[in-house]
Chains A and B, each alone.
Chain A
Amino acid sequence: MVNRPRDWVYVFGILLALGLLPLAQPSEYVLSFLYFLFSYAAMAVAWNVLGGFGGYLSFGHVTFFGTGAYVTGLMLVHWGWSPLITAPLGGLAAALLALVIGYPTLRLRGPYFTVVTVVTVLIAKIVVLNVPLTGAAMGLWMPFPPWDPFTSRVIFYEAVLVLLLAALLMARWVQHAKFGFGLRVLREDEDAAAAIGVPAFRLKLGALLLSAFVCGMVGAVHGYDRSYLHPDFMFDLHPSIMMVLMALFGGRDHWLGPLVGAVAVMITDELLTVYVGTEAARMLFGLLLIIVVLFLPEGVISLRLPKKPPRAAAAGEGVSSP
């Protein structure tokens, strides 16, 4: 089943073009901004698999981000392994933690689950602050990446771009697969879903593991880039809230929604932070989220997507403008 072929051709075309951007010798500021944008977008896209498709709002995904960073950092510090190995292991560690957290909590429904996810961030932070192995409150110093500053920016830029690409492919696959059907159906009504044979718990857990893995990978890359980890930064609720905001703002029902949301939110955030100030930016985001939830529950992407995709998709018409 091919769904709106033009959309993904555009999206992946743009991403590939962005992959070539460093050849044009952009400023480190541009690379750095896009690096943050891609990092957040990758996490928001992954978050959306559980939070958007499945409707299980998690404010705890920064826990997986931080876990990926710390596990990678510790392996780099103690064993000196290549980041190419430690980053995926960081993702796996995050997925493993997701299994431990998700196994009991995904039996909870809706708001109860959300509350628990917030608590996991607080617990993770306290644990890391008190375990000597992680450097506790002193933080963890990691070996510096061996490149000059510009090369370093380019490498990390490309790394998170690849992660974003992977997250998008994963979310796009989920949306159109049986898996995505199950998640959407259980979001609508978990009992009615069970009555048609949907193994809700297993699907929710699968979605959590996938999204945790991506967040863990992003955390691993980010940690290596910073070379210094501290619980206050790695287990901060703010990035968690940003992921949710981006996904809901962009549109939770489509794999592209969180990317659209990430672009919109990051650009707004950058402009506001530069010209108005951080506090104002955060207040405005709150307001923006309220407006979107009230008036555009399917996100800004619903402004562009047709209301009834199946027919158009089957006929291969793509997105038609109204």
Chain B
Amino acid sequence: MKPLLDIQGVSKAFGGLQALRDVTFQVGPGEIVGLIGPNGSGKTTLFNVISGFLRPEQGAIRLGELELTRLAPHDVARAGVGRTFQIVRPFQGLTVLDNVAAAVLFGTGQGDVAAARRRAEELLAFVGLAQHRHSPAGQLTLSQKKRLEVAKALGTEPRLLLLDEVFAGLNPREIDDAIALIFRLRDELSLTVLMVEHVMKAVMQTCQRIVVLSYGQKIAEGTPQAIATDPQVLQVYLGVETGAGH
């Protein structure tokens, strides 16, 4: 199967700090892949590299046949990569509806504001924010803002969705709702999802495959079950000595 997202040997340093070191993995079309690792392991840096906010020193990133590596962030968005931010960033002064309409206008090349608002209404219904569409985005609760982030990303008609900690700060009930939403992204919108996540329950339930980063390096990759019992992963996360001798 040809991968949708192909990350080849990506390295990124901030001064003396090697944030990413030769990271390679692929995400196939329709897959939901989790990206986990301790704080500072380079997850968000990798997201920023994929979405064009940071330039890698080495390596290449392709979306299908398209080389993303040198594109500006807004061109990556138009090329089909939607992303959410770890710290939610709604456009506070705009209504919820216009937040998403802006994404439709600029992410898809749509020029008609009224049509973009209609499309935005559909997307807000999809993520369950329809009744809040005329509220200023700043007034939403955290879990609503996270849904708005997803709707904004969807507005650009992405092929690949990068979700950065959409579960963080949610209560158990909201986490269940968000898990259901992610499955619907794949099943109803045929999206491919790469998600950075700390909430293990969510990762284990939603992801078919998990990539583990530690100190900027990929240390493991596999199914949730395999990752949960991987000695290296356990050591990184829990500091467990595994007898195998580390």
Measured CB to CB, the residues of A under 8 A from B are: 1, 176-178, 181-182, 184-185, 187-189, 191-200, 253, 308, 310-311
Contact = CB atoms under 8 A, between A and B. Distances in A.
Nearest to A298: B93
B73 interface: yes
Nearest to B105: A178
Contacts of B97: 310
Interface string B129-141: 0000010100000
B242 interface: no
A308 B134 contact: yes
A200 B74 contact: yes
Smallest CB-CB A-B distances: 5 pairs: A194-B73, A197-B77, A188-B91, A196-B103, A192-B89
Contacts, number: 97
Interface in B85-113: 85, 89-95, 97-98, 101-103, 105-108, 110-111, 113
A167 to B, nearest CB: 21
A195 B92 contact: no
Contacts of A184: 91, 93-94, 102
A109 to B, nearest CB: 14
Interface in B158-200: none
Find the residue from A178, A184, A191, A310 having the highest chain B CB count within 10 A.
A178
Chain A interface SS verdict (over half) = helix
Contact of A182 (B52, B90, B95, B102): B102
B114 interface: yes
Contact of A196 (B53, B75, B117, B155): B155
A182 B116 CA distance: 13
Contacts of A200: 74
12 contacts: A177-B113, A178-B113, A181-B106, A191-B89, A193-B106, A194-B53, A194-B73, A197-B156, A198-B106, A308-B134, A310-B95, A310-B97
A178 B114 CA distance: 10
Nearest to B109: A197
Contacts of A1: 113-114
Interface of B: 51-53, 72-75, 77-78, 82-83, 85, 89-95, 97-98, 101-103, 105-108, 110-111, 113-114, 116-117, 134, 136, 152-153, 155-156
A185 B102 contact: yes
Given A178-B105, A182-B105, A310-B134, A194 B85 contact: no
A176 B113 contact: yes
B107 A196 contact: yes
Contacts of B91: 184-185, 188-189, 192-193
A189 B98 CA distance: 14
A195 B73 CA distance: 6
Given A181-B102, A195-B83, A196-B152, A188 B78 contact: no
A192 B105 contact: no
Contacts of A195: 51, 73, 77, 82-83, 85, 152-153
A191 B47 CA distance: 13
A126 B120 CA distance: 51
A197 B104 CA distance: 9
A188 B114 contact: no
Contacts of B89: 189, 191-192
B92 A308 contact: no
Nearest to B72: A194
Given A197-B107, A199-B74, A181 B98 contact: yes
B101 A191 contact: no
B217 to A, nearest CB: 26
A308 B155 CA distance: 22
A40 B235 CA distance: 68
Nearest to A178: B105
Contact of B74 (A177, A197, A308, A311): A197
A300 to B, nearest CB: 18
Contacts of A199: 72, 74, 106
A310 B113 CA distance: 12
Contacts of A177: 113
Nearest to A253: B93
A204 B168 CA distance: 34
Given A178-B113, A192-B85, A197 B93 contact: no
Contacts of A188: 91-94
